[in-house]
Amino acid sequence: MTLRSALYRSYWKARALIVPALRYSQYTYEDILKLYVRFDTRWIDIGCGRSILPSWRTEEEGQLVKKCKVIVGIDYHLDSLKDHSTITRKVRGDIARLPFVTNSFDLATANMVVEHLYEPREQFCEINRILRPEGVLLFHTPNALDYGTIMAKLTPGWLKRKLIFLLEGRREEDVFKTYYRANTERRISELARSSGFEVVRIEAVATDAVFAMIPPLFLVELIWIRLLMTKPLRSLRGNIIAVLRKSSSAKS
């Protein structure tokens, strides 16, 4: 057993005792995604990176891709696109200038991408343009009010890349600049209205500890997460999942 595996085992045991109802937010995102992927769905995954879901959900990701009518992945990072094995139709491009005709897709998704948007209103408008009438934008992103996000914003880039590798095992080349300009429930609602979307659902969701690999810290963090799962502190939970629908009055 590797050290990383042993540390995670300790974390899972503590989590089961302190916050037994906690669920990793990626699983919640996956459950909601399944509601919108149907046999006739034309789907675009924006900022697709190396996978749609976490790496250990490859089988489930493949099933989702097979279920829809067509799926396209777009990302500006070419190396990530090359490594993406689930999506075969892949395009290198800019979210602010999507290379697709108007009304091309029924569903647009973005898993841990919105925090990287520099001009989110412009980019939301562009996503709206390529969606068909009543098309859906579903995304999963960090909450700007979360303590982990606040710490990330205050951490120098060089140090953040090192910490992400230590805490998550994510390679430095997969760590990109963040802006958090569409990362509160209120801000997402404002952007939705100004870019031609109607809000179907915006929900702050609790997720696993940032310091799961550091035993002295994860105990304190798990206690805080348990508090976050109460109603009064719901707005401070770690991540946000949003479902927006293209307004029927939006210009095509």
7-17 pLDDT, tens digit per residue, is 889 999 999 99
Q: Which residue has the tokens 């005792």?
A: 17
Identify the pLDDT of residue 209. Answer: 94
Q: Are 103 and 127 in contact (CB under 8 A)?
A: no
Identify the pLDDT of residue 71. Answer: 98
Instruction: Transcribe 51-78 into DSSP letters.
Output: -SS-GGGHHHHHHHHHHSSEEEEEES-H
Q: Per this entry, what is the length of the chain?
A: 252
One-letter amino acid for residue 158 of the chain:
W
Q: How large a percentage of the chain has pLDDT more than 70?
A: 90
Q: Which helix (H) or strand (E) holds 113?
A: none
Architecture of domain 3-245: 3-Layer(aba) Sandwich (3.40)
Average pLDDT, the chain: 92
pTM: 0.92
Sequence ranges of the domains in the chain: 3-245
Identify the pLDDT of residue 163. Answer: 65
pLDDT tens string 200-243: 999 999 999 998 988 889 999 999 999 999 999 999 999 999 99
